[in-house]
Amino acid sequence: MSSSAVSWDPRALPDLTGRTVAVTGGNAGIGYFICEQLAAAGADVVILGRDPGRVATAVRSITSRTPDARVTSIPLDLVDPESVEAAAAALNRLDRLDALIHNAGLTQPGKRRETTRQGVEVALATNHLGHFALTALAMPALSATPGSRIVPIGSAITRMIGFDLDDLGSERSYGRQRAYAQSKHAVQVFGFELDRRLRAAGADIRSVVAHPGFGLDGASPRRERIEEPSALSRLTALLLAPISHGNDRAAWPAVRAAVDPDAEGGQYYGPARGGAGDPVPGRPPRSALDPGLGARLWTMSEELSGVEFRVPAARA
Give me the active site residues, please.
180
Give the Cα separation of 104 and 89 in Å (integer).
19
Closest CA to 123 of 181, 47, 82: 181
Give the Cα separation of 271 and 273 in Å (integer).
6
SS3 assignment for 223-273: ECCCECCCHHHHHHHHHCHHHCEEHHHHCHHHHHHHHCCCCCCCCEEEECC
Give the Cα separation of 309 and 157 in Å (integer).
27
Give the contacts of 277 (CB within 8 A, at least 6 positions apart).
213, 245, 271
AA identity, residue 60 = R
From the number of C-beta atoms within 10 Å of its C-beta (0-12, 13-18, 19+), residue 85 rates as middle
Give the Cα separation of 307 and 304 in Å (integer).
8
Contact 284, 155 (CB under 8 A): no
Give the Cα separation of 98 and 100 in Å (integer).
7
Give the Cα separation of 73 and 53 in Å (integer).
11
Give the Cα separation of 282 and 216 in Å (integer).
22
